[in-house]
């Protein structure tokens, strides 16, 4: 079902999101999963981003996929930009 609010939004994939394909934890729910895709919802009127939604695949083999705010997710392993480099 499409609501009036949804009809006023553009939805686009975020193929360059830093967590895409990464194993992450969602602290608020205690769940762990892999970020399958991140969608960006933008206003058709203003062009501003209204929200971003990450679609998650579970790591526990439950089969119960879910969505989350990508800003609330924490990588289970450090991202490459967070890893210290050898100064040699």
Residue 64 CB partners (closer than 8 Å, separation 6+):
58
This prediction has a pTM of: 0.78
What percentage of the chain exceeds 70 in pLDDT?
A: 84
Cβ proximity of 77 and 42 under 8 Å: no
- Band (78; pLDDT cuts 50, 70, 90): confident
Alpha-carbon Rg for the chain, nearest whole angstrom, is: 16
How much is the average pLDDT of 1-30? 87
d(CA 56, CA 36): 6
């Amino acid at each position: 079902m499409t609501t009036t609010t949804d009809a006023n939004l553009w939805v686009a994939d975020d193929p360059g999101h830093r967590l895409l394909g990464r194993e992450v934890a969602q602290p608020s729910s205690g769940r762990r999963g892999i970020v399958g895709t991140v969608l960006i919802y933008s206003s058709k009127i203003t062009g501003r981003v209204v929200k971003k939604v990450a679609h998650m695949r579970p790591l526990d083999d439950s089969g119960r996929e879910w969505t989350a705010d990508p800003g609330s997710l924490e990588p289970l392993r450090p991202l490459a930009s967070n890893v210290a480099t050898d100064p040699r």
